[in-house]
C-alpha cells in the first residue's frame, strides 16, 4: 500500500482490512498509549526479559486472553509480538488466524479450532524443517489415523478423508492428514458433524495424545536449541459467525483449551471480556484498550494519519483532530471516518463539512438499528455507569456504541454516537 | 396385600379354573416371557389330550384371525400378546362384539400380558372390551422369581468408557502400556509424567485392571495436587476419573465422594451454567442408579437434562444422552412405557443430529431392544438388537468391544425365546471377541463365562456349566472386592450349578 499524495488515492491508502506488520511503512507503534496495557507485561508472563529479550523456561503453562475492540489494533500487536518473540528463540510461535483460514467461520466448533491449531503447528515444524523423529510422531499419528478411519466409516464415500497406508510417521505425512481433515471441516454439515463428534467424544484422549506430541516437540527443540517452548497465538475469533458461537467456543470450552498443554495468547472478542471471571482461574485476561486520546495519543494519531494520507489533502490540522476525536482511539474507526469523509467531500479536500457528513452516516447506521432493550441499557447508563453483563450489553460493545478503555473496566459512549441527533432523542438527553 | 403368585401357587389356581370342556377366560400377568413357555408346558402336561391353539394376533385384523380362533370347538387357545388386542381398535371391537360367540365355544382362552402392563390392562380392558371383560374368570399375577433374577443373563455395558488410547484391542493396548511405562521411568518433566500417568491409568481401565488404573490415577492426582493450582480444572477431571474407577470396582460410596468433589470444584470454577456440570450431575445419577436409589438417580439426571436444555442447542447430542439415561432409570423402575418413550426421544434426536450411521444410534437401538425384551416382546427385541449389530458391523472396527455387547444381547434374547443353541452360538461369539480384544482377565469376559455357564446349566450339561462359572468367579474375584454385585451374581450361580 502506498501513501495517498493525491485526493483520489485516499481510498486505497485507508484500507483497513489487512493488519500491518512492524516493517510496513504504515506501521505506527502505539506502545505505551493504551492505558492499562503494557507489552512488557506479556513478555514478563512468558518469562522473557522485555529489555534484553533473554528468557528462562516457564514452570507453568501461560494462557493469556487479550481482549479489545475490533479495529483497536490487536492483530497488529499480535503480529508484532510474534516477530519480536520469534527473534528471541525463546518460543516457537505458531500464529493461527481462525478468521482468515479456510475454516467455515459461519459454522465453527471448538474442535475445528483445535484441529486448525494442530495443522498450523505441524506446518510450522515442516516449514522450519525442525527435525522431529519418527518415534516422536508415531504414537500421535497412529491415534489420529485411527480416528480418521473411524470417521470414514460414518461418512459418505465422497466425504472420506484419504489416508496413506505407507505414509510413514513423519511431520509432512502428518501435515497432509491433518490438512485433509481441516479441509473437510468446510464440507457439508453432515461431514462436519461427524468429524467433530469423533474428536469431541474422545477429546480427553485427543488432548492427551496432542500433549504428548507437544512435549516431544519441546524436547527436540530444546535439544537442538531451536526454542525453549511453544506458543500459540490464536486470533480472528471476532470474525466467527454469531456472538453465541463465539461465546460457546471461548467461554463454554475454555476448560478444554486448558487441556491443551501449551502456552497460548488468544485474542478475545471485547463482548466476552465481562465473562472472563469464568476463565480467570486458569488463564490471565488482559485488556487491550483503545488508545487514550491525551496529547501524546493525539500526536501519535496525527502521525498515523499522515503516514497514509498527505496532510495537504486535509483542510487543516483542526480537521485531522476532529477525525481523531471521532475515531475515539481506534485506528480502524479513524480510517473509516477518513474513508466516509473522502466519499462525502464536495471538493477534492477533506474538510469539516465532510467529517460531519461522515460522522452522521456512520452513527445513523448504528443508531437506526438499536433495539428497545439496548436503548434501555443506554438510558440506564446515564445514571448508573456500572452496568451488569447481559447479551444486550455485549451487543452494544460489538456495535461499538460502548467503548472500553484502560484495564477494561472503564466504559464510555462512542463520541460519534453521543452527538447523533436521533440518539439524543431516543435516550432523551436534554 | 400382594396377590402375586409363585409358580406353584399359580399351578394350584390353574388346576381349579381350567376345564377344556367349558369356556374359560383367564389373563396371566407374567414377569418374564420365559414363564409363558413354562406355563404352557405345565398345562400340556396336566391336560395331555387337549387341543392347543396358539393364536398369533400381532399386526392382524379380527377378520384374519377369526377362522383360527374358532377352528377348535374345545381345548386351549393361547394369546401371547394380549396387549395387541387392547391396542388395536379392530381387534378389541372384534373380540368384544363377538363375546357371546366366543363364549359359546368350550375353549379356555388364556391371554398373557407382561406384569409391566398391569396398569394398562386394568385401565384399558374395562373400556375397550367391557363385555368380554365381564366374562373373565380370573387375572393371575405371577411374581418375579428371585431364582430368575440370580440366573438372569448378565449384560455387558455399552463401552462408552472404552478409550481410544493405545488402539482398540488388548494386544495393542498392552504394547502401548509397555511404551508408556518405559517413558515414565525416563521422564524428567512433571508435565510429561502427568501425561503418561493419565494415559497409563486410562489404558489399565480399558483392560479391566481397575486396581492398577486406580493406582496410577491416584499417582496422577497426587502430582497434580503438588504442582497445579488448587482450583485447576484438571483436578476436577481427575476426581471424576477416580470416581468412575471406583464405580467400576463397585465401591459406590467412594465413587460418590469423588464425583461430588469434581462437581464442587467445577461449580466453583465454571459457574452454574456450564456443560461440565451437567456431566457431573449425570455421573452422580449413574452412581445412585447403581446404589439402587432410583429416585435420587432420576433427580440428578433430570438436573443434568434441565441444565443441558437451558444451555445447549436443542439439537445437541448430550440431550440424547440425557434422554437415554432417564430411559435407563425408568427401565430400572419398571416403568417400561416411560423408558421406551425416552429411549425413542434419544433415538430420534440421535438420528436427526448424527445421521443414520453413527455408533450412538446403534446404542439407542440396543437400548430399545432391552426395553422390548423386558416387556416380553422378544420379536421386536431381536429386531432392534439385530439393527444395532448390523450398524456396528458396518461402521465400527471389526474388533470393537461393542460388537461383543451386541452378540451378548442377542444371545440373551434367544435364551428368553428358549432357543439355547442359538443363544450359545452368539454367546461364544461374544466370548471369543472379548477375549481377543480385551484379553483374558476382563470383566466382560467373565460376564460371557457366566452366561455360557447358565446356558449349559439350562441344557443340563453340568460339567461345562461348572467349568465356565468357575472361570467367571476366578476373574471376578481377582478384579473385585467381596460384595461387588458381579461377583455376588457369579457366586450365586456357582452355588446353584454346584447344587445339581
Q: Do A205 and B176 touch (CB under 8 A)?
A: no
Tell how strand A402-405 and strand A410-413 pair up: antiparallel
Instruction: Give percent of chain B above pLDDT 90.
Output: 53
Q: Does the pLDDT value for residue B15 go beyond 90?
A: no
Contacts of residue B189 in chain A, CB cutoff 8 Å? 215
Whether A153 and B198 lie within 8 Å, measured CB to CB: no
| Strand ranges across the sheet with B52-54 | B4-5, B138-142, B24-30, B106-114, B74-79, B52-54
pLDDT confidence of residue A430: 45
Q: How far apart are CA A335 and CA A20, in angstroms?
A: 13
Q: How far apart are CA A257 and CA A282, in angstroms?
A: 10
- Could you state, in order of their start, the residue ranges of all structural domains in chain A? 1-30+290-430, 37-287
For the question of whether the overall pTM of this predicted structure is more than 0.90, the answer is no
- Count A/B contacts: CB-CB distance under 8 Å: 85
Contact at CB, A153 and B353, closer than 8 angstroms:
no
User: pLDDT tens digits, residue range B296-333?
Assistant: 999 999 999 999 999 887 888 889 999 999 999 998 88
Confidence of residue B34 (pLDDT cuts 50, 70, 90): low
CB contact under 8 A, A282 and B232: yes
pLDDT digits (tens, 9 = 90+) for B263-305: 999 998 887 888 889 999 999 999 999 888 989 999 999 999 9
Whether B299 is covered by a domain: the verdict is: no
Residue B217 included in any domain? no
C-alpha span between B352 and B88 (Å, rounded): 30
Closest partner residue to B191 (CB to CB) among A149, A215, A255 is A215
Domain limit, last residue, from B117, B144, B171: B144
Mutate to test the interface with B, among A135, A195, A200, A204 (most CBs of B within 10 A): A204
3 state SS of B430: helix
Chain B residues with CB-CB distance to A61 below 8 A: 191
Interface TM-score (ipTM) > 0.85: no
> Cβ–Cβ of A252/B311 closer than 8 Å?
yes
- Establish if B168 belongs to a structural domain: no
Nearest residue to A229 via CA among A92, A56, A74, A63: A92
If asked whether residues B137 and B11 sit together in one domain, one would say: yes
Structural domain that includes position B360:
313-396
Check A194 against B358: CB less than 8 A apart: yes
Q: CA–CA distance from A224 to each of A83, A95, A123 (Å)? A: 21, 22, 18
- Contact, B251 vs B214, CB < 8 A? no
Chain A nearest-CA distance from B310, in A, is 13
Q: B277: nearest CA in chain A?
A: A252
The pLDDT assigned to B3 comes to 65
Please report how many Cα atoms fall inside a 13 Å half-sphere around the Cα of residue A43, on the Cβ side: 20
DSSP letter at A226? Answer: S
Q: List pLDDT tens digits, range B445-494.
A: 999 999 999 999 888 899 999 999 999 999 999 888 888 888 988 998 89
CA distance B473 to B471: 6
Q: Is residue B259 part of a domain?
A: no
Residue B263 CA to residue A200 CA, distance in Å, equals 21
The residue in chain B having the minimum alpha-carbon distance to the alpha carbon of residue A257 is B233
**β partners of residue A233:** A95, A265
Final residue of a structural domain among B108, B127, B144? B144
Task: Look at residue B349 and tell me whether its pLDDT is greater than 70.
Answer: yes
State the virtual CA torsion across A359, A364, A369, A372 in degrees, nearest 10.
100
Asked if the Cβ–Cβ distance from B357 to A282 is below 8 Å, we say no
User: Residues B433, B407: contact at Cβ < 8 Å?
Assistant: yes
Residue A174 Ramachandran class (φ > 0 left, ψ -120 to 50 alpha, else beta): alpha
What pLDDT is attached to residue B107? Answer: 93
- Identify all chain B residues contacting A282, using CB atoms and an 8 Å cutoff: 229, 231-233, 269
Which grid coordinates are listed for A231? 506458543
**B468 and B500: one domain?**
yes
Q: How far is A381 from chain B (nearest CA, A)?
A: 26
Interface test with A, best of B355, B391, B394 (most A CBs within 10 A): B355
SS3 A234: strand
B57 has pLDDT over 60: yes
Q: A107 — contact with chain B (CB < 8 Å)?
A: no
Q: Specify the DSSP element, H or E, that contains A324.
A: helix A317-327
Highest mean pLDDT among B130-134, B180-184, B414-418, B437-441: B180-184
* Burial (CB count within 10 angstroms: exposed 0-12, middle 13-18, buried 19+), residue B96: middle
| Whether residue B45 is found in the same domain as residue B116 | yes
Contact residues, chain B, for A211 at CB < 8 Å: 191, 195
Asked if residue B183 belongs to a domain, the reply is: no
By C-alpha distance, the chain A residue nearest B273 is A252
The CATH number for B38's domain is 3.40.50.300
Mutate to test the interface with A, among B158, B161, B164, B397 (most CBs of A within 10 A): B164
- Cβ distance A205 to B163 less than 8 Å, yes or no, reads yes
Distance from CA of B364 to the nearest CA of A (A): 16
Residues of chain A with pLDDT below 50 are: 430
Give chain A positions within 8 Å (CB) of B270: 255, 278
Q: What is the pLDDT of chain B when averaged over all its residues?
A: 89
A261 part of contact set with chain B, CB < 8 Å = yes
Same domain as B455, residue B336: no
Looking at the structure, tell me whether residues B39 and B134 fall in a common domain. Answer: yes
* Interface touch B232/A150, C-beta < 8 Å: no
Interface of B with A (CB under 8 A): 163-165, 167-168, 176, 179, 189, 191-192, 195-196, 198-199, 202, 229, 231-234, 237, 269-271, 274-276, 311, 317, 353-355, 357-359, 394-397
- Cβ–Cβ gap B233/A258 under 8 Å: yes
Long-range contacts, B5-9 (Cβ 8 Å, 24+): B5/B140, B5/B141, B5/B142, B5/B143, B6/B142, B6/B143, B6/B145, B7/B35, B7/B38, B7/B142, B7/B145
Same domain, B470 and B377: no
| Of the residues B144, B162, B192, the one at which a domain ends | B144
Total number of domains in chain B: 3
Per-residue pLDDT at A101? 64
pLDDT at B30: 83
Q: What is the pLDDT of residue A404?
A: 86
Three-state SS for A268?
Answer: strand
Give the pLDDT confidence score for residue A335 in this predicted structure.
93
Nearest CA in chain B to A262: B191
pLDDT band, residue B152 (cuts 50/70/90): low
Q: Is the pLDDT of residue B191 over 80?
A: yes
Mutate to test the interface with B, among A134, A138, A197, A272 (most CBs of B within 10 A): A197
With a CB cutoff of 8 Å and minimum separation 6, the contacts of A291 are A30, A33, A34, A72, A297, A300, A301, A329, A330, A331
The pLDDT of residue A218 is 94
pLDDT at B429: 96
Rounded distance between C-alpha atoms, residue A412 and residue B138, angstroms: 82
Residue with cell 363375546: B99
The better pLDDT of the pair B30, B245 is held by: B245
A55 CA: distance to closest CA in chain B (Å): 19
- Residues of chain B with C-beta less than 8 angstroms from the C-beta of A278: 269-271, 274
Residue B328 belongs to domain with CATH number: 1.25.40.10
State the pLDDT at residue B432.
Answer: 95
Number of Cα atoms under 13 Å in the Cβ half of residue B117: 28
Q: What percent of chain B has pLDDT over 70?
A: 96
pLDDT at B2: 46
- Per-residue pLDDT for B160 more than 70? no
Amino acid at each position: 500500500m502506498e501513501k495517498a499524495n493525491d485526493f483520489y488515492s485516499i481510498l486505497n491508502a485507508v484500507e483497513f482490512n489487512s493488519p500491518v506488520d512492524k516493517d510496513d511503512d504504515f506501521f505506527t507503534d502505539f506502545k505505551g498509549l493504551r492505558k492499562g496495557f503494557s507489552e512488557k507485561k506479556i513478555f514478563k508472563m512468558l518469562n522473557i526479559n522485555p529489555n534484553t529479550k533473554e528468557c528462562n523456561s516457564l514452570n507453568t503453562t501461560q494462557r493469556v486472553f487479550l481482549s479489545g475492540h475490533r479495529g483497536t489494533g490487536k492483530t497488529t500487536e499480535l503480529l508484532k509480538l510474534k516477530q519480536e518473540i520469534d527473534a528471541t528463540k525463546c518460543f516457537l510461535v505458531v500464529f493461527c488466524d481462525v478468521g482468515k483460514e479456510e475454516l467455515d467461520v459461519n459454522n465453527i466448533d471448538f474442535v475445528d479450532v483445535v484441529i486448525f491449531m494442530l495443522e498450523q503447528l505441524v506446518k510450522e515444524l515442516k516449514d522450519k524443517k525442525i527435525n522431529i523423529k519418527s518415534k516422536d510422531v508415531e504414537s500421535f499419528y497412529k491415534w489420529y489415523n485411527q480416528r480418521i478411519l473411524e470417521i470414514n466409516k460414518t461418512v459418505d464415500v465422497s466425504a472420506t478423508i484419504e489416508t496413506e497406508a505407507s505414509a510413514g510417521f513423519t511431520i509432512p505425512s502428518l501435515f497432509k492428514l491433518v490438512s485433509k481433515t481441516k479441509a473437510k471441516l468446510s464440507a457439508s454439515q453432515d461431514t462436519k458433524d461427524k468429524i467433530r463428534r469423533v474428536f469431541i467424544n474422545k477429546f480427553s484422549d485427543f488432548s492427551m495424545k496432542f500433549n504428548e506430541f507437544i512435549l516431544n516437540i519441546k524436547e527436540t527443540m530444546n535439544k537442538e536449541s531451536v526454542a525453549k517452548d511453544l506458543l500459540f497465538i490464536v486470533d480472528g475469533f471476532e470474525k466467527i459467525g454469531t456472538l453465541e458461537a463465539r461465546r460457546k467456543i471461548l467461554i463454554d470450552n475454555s476448560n478444554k483449551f486448558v487441556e491443551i498443554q501449551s502456552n497460548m495468547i488468544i485474542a478475545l472478542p471485547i463482548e466476552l471480556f465481562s465473562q472472563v471471571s469464568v476463565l480467570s482461574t486458569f488463564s490471565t485476561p488482559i485488556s487491550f484498550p483503545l488508545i487514550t486520546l491525551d496529547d501524546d495519543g493525539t500526536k501519535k494519531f496525527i502521525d498515523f494519519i499522515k503516514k497514509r494520507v498527505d496532510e495537504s489533502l486535509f483542510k487543516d490540522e483542526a480537521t485531522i483532530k476532529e477525525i481523531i476525536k471521532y475515531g475515539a482511539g481506534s485506528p480502524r474507526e479513524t480510517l473509516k471516518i477518513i474513508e466516509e469523509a473522502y466519499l462525502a467531500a464536495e471538493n477534492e479536500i477533506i474538510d469539516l463539512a465532510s467529517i460531519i457528513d461522515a460522522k452522521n452516516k456512520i452513527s445513523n447506521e448504528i443508531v437506526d438499528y438499536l433495539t428497545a432493550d439496548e436503548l434501555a441499557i443506554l438510558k440506564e447508563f446515564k445514571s448508573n455507569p456500572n452496568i451488569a453483563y447481559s447479551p444486550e450489553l455485549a451487543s452494544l460493545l460489538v456495535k461499538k456504541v460502548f467503548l472500553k478503555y484502560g484495564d477494561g473496566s472503564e466504559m464510555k459512549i462512542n463520541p460519534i454516537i453521543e452527538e447523533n441527533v436521533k440518539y439524543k432523542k431516543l435516550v432523551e438527553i436534554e | 396385600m400382594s396377590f402375586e403368585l409363585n409358580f406353584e401357587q399359580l399351578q394350584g389356581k390353574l388346576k381349579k379354573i381350567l376345564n377344556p370342556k367349558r369356556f374359560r377366560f383367564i389373563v396371566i400377568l407374567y414377569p418374564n416371557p420365559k414363564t409363558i413357555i413354562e406355563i404352557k408346558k405345565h398345562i400340556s402336561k396336566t391336560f395331555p389330550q387337549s387341543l392347543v391353539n396358539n393364536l398369533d394376533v400381532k399386526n392382524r385384523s379380527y377378520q384374519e384371525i377369526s377362522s383360527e380362533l374358532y377352528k377348535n370347538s374345545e381345548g386351549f387357545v393361547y394369546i401371547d400378546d394380549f396387549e395387541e388386542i387392547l391396542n388395536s381398535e379392530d381387534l378389541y371391537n372384534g373380540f368384544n362384539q363377538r363375546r357371546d360367540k366366543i363364549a359359546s365355544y368350550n375353549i379356555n382362552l388364556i391371554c398373557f400380558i407382561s406384569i409391566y402392563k398391569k396398569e394398562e390392562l386394568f385401565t384399558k380392558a374395562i373400556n375397550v372390551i367391557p363385555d368380554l371383560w365381564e366374562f373373565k374368570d380370573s387375572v393371575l399375577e405371577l411374581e418375579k422369581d428371585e431364582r430368575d433374577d440370580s440366573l438372569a443373563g448378565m449384560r455387558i455395558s455399552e463401552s462408552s468408557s472404552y478409550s481410544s488410547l493405545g488402539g482398540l484391542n488388548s494386544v495393542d493396548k498392552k504394547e502401548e502400556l509397555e511404551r508408556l511405562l518405559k517413558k515414565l521411568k525416563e521422564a524428567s518433566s512433571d508435565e510429561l509424567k502427568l501425561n503418561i500417568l493419565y494415559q497409563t491409568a486410562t489404558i489399565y481401565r480399558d483392560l479391566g485392571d481397575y486396581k492398577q488404573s486406580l493406582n496410577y490415577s491416584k499417582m496422577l492426582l497426587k502430582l497434580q495436587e503438588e504442582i497445579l493450582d488448587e482450583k485447576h480444572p484438571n483436578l476436577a477431571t481427575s476426581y471424576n476419573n477416580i470416581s468412575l474407577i471406583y464405580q467400576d470396582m463397585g465401591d459406590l460410596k467412594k465413587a460418590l465422594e469423588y464425583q461430588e468433589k469434581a462437581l464442587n470444584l467445577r461449580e466453583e470454577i465454571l459457574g452454574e451454567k456450564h456443560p461440565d456440570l451437567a456431566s457431573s450431575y449425570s455421573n452422580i445419577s449413574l452412581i445412585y442408579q447403581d446404589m439402587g436409589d432410583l429416585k435420587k438417580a432420576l433427580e440428578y439426571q433430570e438436573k443434568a437434562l434441565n441444565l443441558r436444555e437451558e444451555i445447549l442447542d436443542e439439537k445437541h447430542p448430550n440431550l440424547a444422552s440425557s434422554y437415554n439415561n432417564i430411559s435407563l432409570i425408568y427401565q430400572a423402575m419398571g416403568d417400561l412405557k416411560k423408558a421406551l418413550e425416552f429411549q425413542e426421544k434419544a433415538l430420534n434426536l440421535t438420528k436427526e443430529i448424527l445421521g443414520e450411521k453413527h455408533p450412538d444410534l446403534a446404542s439407542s437401538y440396543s437400548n430399545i431392544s432391552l426395553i422390548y425384551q423386558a416387556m416380553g416382546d422378544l420379536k421386536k427385541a431381536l429386531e432392534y438388537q439385530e439393527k444395532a449389530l448390523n450398524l456396528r458391523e458396518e461402521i465400527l472396527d471389526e474388533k470393537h468391544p461393542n460388537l461383543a455387547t451386541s452378540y451378548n444381547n442377542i444371545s440373551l434374547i434367544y435364551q428368553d425365546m428358549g432357543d439355547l443353541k442359538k443363544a450359545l452360538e452368539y454367546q461364544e461369539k461374544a466370548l471369543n471377541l472379548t477375549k481377543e480384544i480385551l484379553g483374558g482377565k476382563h470383566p466382560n469376559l467373565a460376564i460371557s463365562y457366566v452366561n455360557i455357564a447358565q446356558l449349559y446349566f439350562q441344557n443340563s450339561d453340568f460339567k461345562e456349566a461348572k467349568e465356565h462359572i468357575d472361570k467367571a468367579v476366578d476373574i471376578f474375584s481377582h478384579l473385585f472386592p467381596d460384595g461387588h454385585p458381579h461377583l455376588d451374581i457369579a457366586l450365586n450361580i456357582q452355588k446353584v450349578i454346584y447344587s445339581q
